[in-house]
Structure 1
């Protein structure tokens, strides 16, 4: 593998280099399966969705009113004779003649010969005729949706690699597609390790910590459309860990852990991982977020990522390094995080040669310009700072901070309303 995660000297990697090298862990996307429309939310198309019909199917009215044929004289008469009506879901089988019109509702197909709709609010009724108010304001072909103007028959409506949200599901439904071919969800196994790690809800020992990272990872994986395999809390026991990892390597598509993979001598996780697979340890010029381990487990070569143990570092490294790999597994192009530019409202500290990710809050001023400030203390164990944040402020390795008024790059964070 070129630029493999294992081809590494002792020097510190930049964030960009780490992303490139990590990509070597994924050789191909997961296979495809056909899934019913109702179950497609969040899935990623494995092949183009091609429209079998014109959308809309018929040229139809965009307004309630009357449909008519524009006169050859190109001057619109002030009165029209009503010869019928067309409701949505119905058709008018006759061809309109000069001076005739039909009442029509929004979405109803235009009769043969009709090419213009005048909205109801512009009409006055006089017996069997309708008078048009301000006829000079009427334009030929107004308030008409042409057949296929949204999506013509045979046109690619959605490309392979598209993640399906609410709008995309509606589009597939409008094509009459009851299912689609999508990549399988990545099955991601996660676990926590250590005799000091205590499950939430259980009494906390004097030297214990509650298991926060596993639940943070579960939420992050759900956002990325992955299927969680929760291995729970594994004890500091090499045999138990080897058994759990061997089992995960047999049916997971990726294994992620946080903490417990340092180069320390009393590290059971590291020893177990090296028994089950091949492991590399990286020093990355990033804060928070080091060290990071990567590797392949079992005969299938399942990608493994060992994230740092501090809660904020877990989230930052997941967003920078794990998200691109999950995207690649689902057949999406490798993508950089979404970035916006904002004006710093305060001095922001960083260090040359290292990329710093600060937790921040951005907002728009009255002129629509984005501003950002930090959430305060930036320790990598302060998880409340991530709760307060709606973005990461990215200070790249070529700058030593930012002064008030300078522009900085921000990465918006997913937040439930």
Structure 2
């Protein structure tokens, strides 16, 4: 069995970003992946401006507290004032351009207006440059604003807008097909079959796929039959970049994923040394209408925690690379374990844990791969290397769910 590191490296080595790009309005680009570097079209800010409501002054004219000067003009945001005359100051509001001749701003709280707003007493001695935002201090025209491969979050959209972009070049969405095998499965709202269970993996996996900004196609539950599985693979391969299945990847008589994928394409990887999630399949399925092209295939275990964990650790970075994103690694931190783990498995374990009020990690009491409530309760995963235990108080690698679901 490959280790988790080896398996992920194998998947990422095979993944290449989709080639197609499109241009969308900046407002519609949230959650998309930037296809090209963009440089600022303007200086940001375009002029020196004030970061405070107050008075624009020549600092050399205010050498002591209590200096009184005449207010000669008023400059609201969105207007440009006149050159500041000697012995005068300008009332100025946040964001307004600094008038020529002024080199500092005194906050209004440090000033007292006298003589019907014509005279102002300055009660602090300003330093040159204070409360002034310089032209181009954020971006200069022609400077790189955002790099290709960036996930466009709200703050990236704000940068693009400030740089003058009403539209952005983005990668097209990755198209993912999903189906679920198991004659025991029923959909919520249907009566349970004798010996059956509701299909939780469908909602979990489709939810994660969509949260990553993919176009998801749900092919539902496929019967535990070899030909039905092959037919589902052929159909799903037609217009998708990736096929994801859940269940049927073990070695039982009713597990048909392995022979089906081998018949419709190829299988490169089978089983990895992690817990939960040992049975993980990776390969490709031939496109029926284009026999020289393939659709990537990843088969996940059927147990709900195994399916969820292997998706986050392996499928997520694979999809990110297909999207052309540059941030493929899972965020992780060293945190304190507030429990003992003295009987480690020979496989790399990923334990469901929660951050407690003391800043340590608590363990969900039941770590079974079938107990999905452990993932709903937890804040993330504790990465326990193969064969290595730890004691309460030891520092361990923690992977938050919050960094894996976007």
Corresponding residue to 1:251 among 220, 239, 243: 239
Relative to structure 2, which stretch is displaced further, 218-227 or 382-391? 218-227
Change in Cα spacing, 1:73 to 1:293, as seen in structure 2 (3 Å) is: closer
Shift of residue 349, structure 1, vs aligned partner: 4.4
- 1:32 corresponds to 2:14: no
Instruction: Tell me the residue number matched to 2:59.
Output: 70
In 2, distance between residues paired with 1:184 and 1:145? 38
In 2, distance between residues paired with 1:206 and 1:163? 46
Change in Cα spacing, 1:203 to 1:349, as seen in structure 2 (3 Å) is: farther
Q: Is the 8 A contact 1:325 1:334 kept in 2?
A: no
In 2, distance between residues paired with 1:125 and 1:28? 62
Shift of residue 262, structure 1, vs aligned partner: 2.5
Corresponding residue to 2:80 among 91, 96, 101: 91
- 1:303 corresponds to 2:296: yes
Alignment of 1:182-331 (within 5 A): 182-298=170-286, 299=291, 300-331=293-324
Relative to structure 2, which stretch is displaced further, 110-119 or 385-394? 110-119
In 2, distance between residues paired with 1:349 and 1:198? 39
In 1, distance between residues paired with 2:63 and 2:4? 65
Corresponding residue to 2:69 among 76, 80, 96: 80
Q: Could you say what secondary structure the match of 1:348 adopts? A: coil
In 2, distance between residues paired with 1:105 and 1:308? 61
Relative to structure 2, which stretch is displaced further, 298-307 or 379-388? 298-307
- 1:150 corresponds to 2:138: yes
Shift of residue 215, structure 1, vs aligned partner: 0.8
In 1, distance between residues paired with 2:296 and 2:318? 9
Q: Is the 8 A contact 1:25 1:295 kept in 2?
A: no
- 1:346 corresponds to 2:336: no
Change in Cα spacing, 1:47 to 1:398, as seen in structure 2 (3 Å) is: farther
Shift of residue 270, structure 1, vs aligned partner: 3.3
Question: Once the two structures are superposed, what CA deviation does each residue of 1:345-377 show, in whole Å capped at 9, x if it has no partner?
Answer: 111245364210000011463xxxx41110111
Instruction: Tell me the residue number matched to 2:360.
Output: 371
In 1, distance between residues paired with 2:322 and 2:268? 21
Relative to structure 2, which stretch is displaced further, 68-77 or 340-349? 68-77
Instruction: Tell me the residue number matched to 2:168.
Output: 180
Q: Which sections of structure 1, spanning at least 5 residues, go unmatched?
A: 1-11
Q: Which sections of structure 2, spanning at least 5 residues, go unmatched?
A: none
Q: Is the 8 A contact 1:350 1:395 kept in 2?
A: no
In 2, distance between residues paired with 1:72 and 1:100? 9
In 1, distance between residues paired with 2:36 and 2:75? 39
- 1:164 corresponds to 2:152: yes
Q: Could you say what secondary structure the match of 2:402 adopts? A: coil
Shift of residue 105, structure 1, vs aligned partner: 0.6
In 2, distance between residues paired with 1:350 and 1:89? 67
Q: Could you say what secondary structure the match of 2:335 adopts? A: strand
Q: Could you say what secondary structure the match of 2:317 adopts? A: helix
Q: Could you say what secondary structure the match of 2:238 adopts? A: helix
Instruction: Tell me the residue number matched to 1:8.
Output: none
Q: Is the 8 A contact 1:30 1:186 kept in 2?
A: no
Instruction: Tell me the residue number matched to 2:6.
Output: 17
TM-score, normalised relative to structure 1:
0.90
Instruction: Tell me the residue number matched to 2:353.
Output: 360
Q: Could you say what secondary structure the match of 1:332 adopts? A: coil
Instruction: Tell me the residue number matched to 1:6.
Output: none
Q: Is the 8 A contact 1:259 1:310 kept in 2?
A: yes
Instruction: Tell me the residue number matched to 1:9.
Output: none
Change in Cα spacing, 1:76 to 1:110, as seen in structure 2 (3 Å) is: farther
Change in Cα spacing, 1:352 to 1:171, as seen in structure 2 (3 Å) is: same
- 1:129 corresponds to 2:119: yes
Alignment of 1:49-60 (within 5 A): 49-60=38-49
Q: Is the 8 A contact 2:182 2:247 kept in 1?
A: no
Q: Is the 8 A contact 1:31 1:184 kept in 2?
A: yes
Change in Cα spacing, 1:209 to 1:155, as seen in structure 2 (3 Å) is: same
Change in Cα spacing, 1:270 to 1:73, as seen in structure 2 (3 Å) is: closer
C-alpha RMSD of matched pairs (Å): 2.0
Corresponding residue to 2:378 among 389, 405, 408: 389
Shift of residue 77, structure 1, vs aligned partner: 7.7
